[in-house]
Amino acid sequence: MSRPIHDASLRHPIILADGTPHAGTVHLNQVIDHPNISVGDYSYYSGFDTPVDYAAQLAPYLYPGAPEQLTIGRFCQIAHGARIITSSANHAMDGFSTFPFAVFNPDLIGDYGQAIGNQRDSVIGNDVWLGFESVVLPGVQIGTGVIVAARTVVTRDVPDYAIIAGNPARIIRMRFPPDTVRRLMEIAWWDWDAKKIGRNVDAITGADLNALERAV
């Protein structure tokens, strides 16, 4: 049965019973206009308030023109208070003090970018769930299908379809066996067009991998 999915161009994708939009839930690529942030369709943030600047809410240290990028895939689910701390938040740590003197003196700023070291991009894969008040640290790359538990601090890269929790985060378990993960990555349903996804919602949200492969 075809189940049309909602319009990816909507600012507020959830419509309440009285017909009004749920103001706390937004499609991120409809509310973020930032040269260093890329967000795929259908990825949303759902919070208890309505920030004026969603880019600053989600990635507070990422300034326009920074040397790193933040990429968020399609169909991600980001809960209230989740933060992605990007590489520009780092301080130089090779010397005796971490105090950022160069930030306060334009004459010193030229070499400071190199001194702080890690300038890796931050990457959130497709269909990732970032739980309540979770924190992703600089340069981390989170694979597709990952579940990040509430208040988890993600300090290192995470493989596809892992469930992680804690501070620092550790893998609680893998959601599926390796062969299933491989097949899911080959299917890549998140890249399908909206009509095809709508026709196959039951297979996508179900647990019959053969049915999902037949939909390809």
Which residues are marked as active site? 91
Residue 71 tokens, joined: 């990429």
Answer whether 46's CB lies under 8 Å from 80's CB: yes
Helix (H, G, I), strand (E, B) or coil at 37: strand
Residue 116 tokens, joined: 């702080």
In 10 A of CB 136, how many CB atoms? 28
Rounded to whole angstroms, the Cα distance separating 55 from 78 reads 13
Q: Name residue, tokens 């520009």.
A: 88
